[in-house]
Amino acid sequence: MSFVKLTTSALALTAMAATAAVARDQVQVAGSSTVLPYASIVAEAFGENFDFPTPVVESGGSSAGLKRFCQGVGTEHTDIANASRAIRDKEIKACAENGVTDIIEVRIGYDGIVFASQIQGPDYTAFTPSDIFNALAPQVMVDGALVDNPHKQWSDFNADLPAADILAFIPGTKHGTREVFEEKVIAAGCEATGAMEAMIAGGMSEDDAEDACLSVRTDGLSVDIDGDYTETLASIDANTNAIGVFGLAFYENNTDKLKVATMSGVEPTTESIAKGEYPVSRPLYFYIKKAHIGVIPGLKEYAQFFVADEVAGPDGPLAAYGLVSDPELADTQQMIADEETMGSNS
């Protein structure tokens, strides 16, 4: 009976696969979609430069990646979780419950975004998150009441800002940068101006108010850019009054065309971002399961390659793609070499 034959061979195949699963030979990574581009660059270069197979990198978000990472030790679980934020205590606890205790935290660099405008344009030199919120939120506080955003010019709400029409080109929702922009600028402004409190007082639950704080106005004064920064730059070039959101590295390469605004008084530079002074930036991480080092071939080498000066340094391919390289990279390299886990010294 050919059906029987087919079914048996399929079962045999399944059994074979189950045995082979024990001997996974490639590094398996999952996590943040912000880290994914960098990880894919490193993974490709790793495959080209070493005799180990090219690692598999999945996205799906920091939380999803860490959750999978914490599911246990063994080849059916991922080796590395990429994250655009530090691991939370709750997650460390969840990890420990599943036997994942020795975790190596690797900071690969920083992701910083800046607000820039045409070099001959109006004097946008200093912003605070409240200014950006007042300009771009759908509902803002005017005279102590929450109303639909009436502002048309920057000077409408802050006399220090130029009397120029509001127009902002911000990263589209599919950009990782959008999240930083929402969390560090819009949400911060929402809280600072008291709009969030007003929303909660108006009967919204805290979660709903937090979500409402992340939205931007939809009347055309805030424009989503889904392409790369080149497109944002082209839009800025065509609109004298506009401000745009750029990656720091991109801005630094276009200082002849763009001038940057300070955020809460801090000028965005590699140093201020690396020190954490500039508010609109975040460190990017990946987490290694120490128990897998030596079991999965190439895991330690991949981690070391990722943070090597040639890769994550200021002249490496990651910086060329927009990562702000970490000035403390040497410490990180040493940490991986020593397989120093979280909590072993801090």
Partner 1 sequence: MTDAAMTPDSAHPSKSLTHADERTKKRNAAERRFHAYGIGAICTGMFFLIALLAAILSSGLPAFRQAVVEVPFTLTQEQYDEAEKALLKTGKYTEYFVTSLTDAMESEGVEIEFDKKAIERLLGKVGGDLRAYYRENEDQLGTPVSFELAAASRVDRYLKGTFKREDLQSGNRFFMPEDFNLIDAMREAGLIKQVFNWNFLTGVDTGVDNPGGAGIGASVLGSFFMMLVVLVLSLPIGVAASIYLEEFAPKNRFTDFIEVNISNLAAVPSIVFGILGLAVFIQFAHLPQSAPLVGGLVLTLMTLPTIIISTRASLKAVPPSIRDAALGVGASKMQAVFHHVLPLAAPGILTGTIIGLAQALGETAPLLLIGMVGFVARYPDTFVEGFIEPNSAVPAQIYNWAARSDAVFTEKAWGGIIVLLLFLITMNTIAVILRRRFERRW
Q: How far is the CB of 56 from partner 1 (least distance, A)?
A: 4
Q: Which is nearer to partner 1, 209 or 258 (CB)?
A: 258
Q: How far is the CB of 316 from partner 1 (least distance, A)?
A: 8
Q: How far is the CB of 144 from partner 1 (least distance, A)?
A: 42
Q: Which amino acid is at 282?
A: R
Q: Are 243 and 117 in contact (CB under 8 A)?
A: yes
Q: Which is nearer to partner 1, 78 or 128 (CB)?
A: 78
Q: Which is nearer to partner 1, 45 or 166 (CB)?
A: 45
- CA-wise closest residue to 250 among 233, 226, 273: 233
Q: Which is nearer to partner 1, 134 or 241 (CB)?
A: 241
Q: Which is nearer to partner 1, 132 or 284 (CB)?
A: 284
Q: Which is nearer to partner 1, 199 or 258 (CB)?
A: 258
Q: How far is the CB of 44 from partner 1 (least distance, A)?
A: 4
Binding region for partner 1 (CB under 8 A): 3, 6-7, 9-10, 13-14, 16-18, 20-21, 24, 26, 28, 30, 36-37, 39-45, 47-49, 53-54, 56-60, 71, 74, 76, 78, 174, 227-228, 230, 233-234, 237, 250, 253-254, 256-257, 305, 308, 310-311, 316-317, 320-321
Q: Which is nearer to partner 1, 74 or 194 (CB)?
A: 74
Q: How far is the CB of 165 from partner 1 (least distance, A)?
A: 21
Q: How far is the CB of 52 from partner 1 (least distance, A)?
A: 11
Q: How far is the CB of 172 from partner 1 (least distance, A)?
A: 10
